[in-house]
Homo-oligomer: A and B are copies of this chain.
């Protein structure tokens, strides 16, 4: 087998493996939501809140791609579950800040423990240098996928004759 052919096979295998593991990652998240008894988007918002801290309802809509109406529903449910609190901004009383209730949200966090342990075990088998390679790849991969997403959205704005004949749907602006 030629050198380049070996590489092509490697690339293909790599793509399949990444796809598989990525799909399983999504499934883990769905299982967390299921076990916690909350909707998928609700969990996504908890995630954002965890990463960004205190954010406004509008920001959640922006990041998740949901409408503000949908976000109202998300927050209602999370608030009822005691996972977050609404806090009106005293400076600008139109705004509503959402913040997690740490004591309750912690319980959700615990559902990620199996995942963290699994990852610790996997990472444990790699040297620092190897981990740096993985980190570089993860960062570059992120940028690549981000660019690809933009490119794909861009298809919608290209003249219709120039794109694959498909029933195309407008994305939310």
Write 17 A-B pairs (CB below 8 A) sorted by A numbering: A13-B135, A14-B123, A14-B131, A14-B135, A21-B142, A22-B22, A22-B26, A24-B149, A28-B152, A34-B169, A35-B155, A111-B152, A111-B164, A114-B152, A115-B152, A118-B145, A122-B144
**How many Å lie between the Cα of A111 and that of B135 in the bound state?**
27
A168 contact from B37, B118, B135, Cβ within 8 A = B37
Contact B167 A140 (CB under 8 A): no
**A148-B117, A168-B35 known; A135+B10 contact, CB < 8 A:** yes
Q: How many residues of A contact B (CB 8 A)?
A: 72
Assess whether A156 is interfacial by the CB under 8 Å rule.
yes
- Copies per complex of this chain: 2
A12: min CB distance to chain B, Å: 10
A138 contact from B18, B31, B35, B165, Cβ within 8 A = B18
A128-145 at interface with B (beta carbon < 8 Å): 128, 130-135, 137-142, 144-145
A115 contact from B24, B35, B145, B171, Cβ within 8 A = B145
A30 and chain B: residue at smallest CB distance: B65
Contact B14 A134 (CB under 8 A): yes
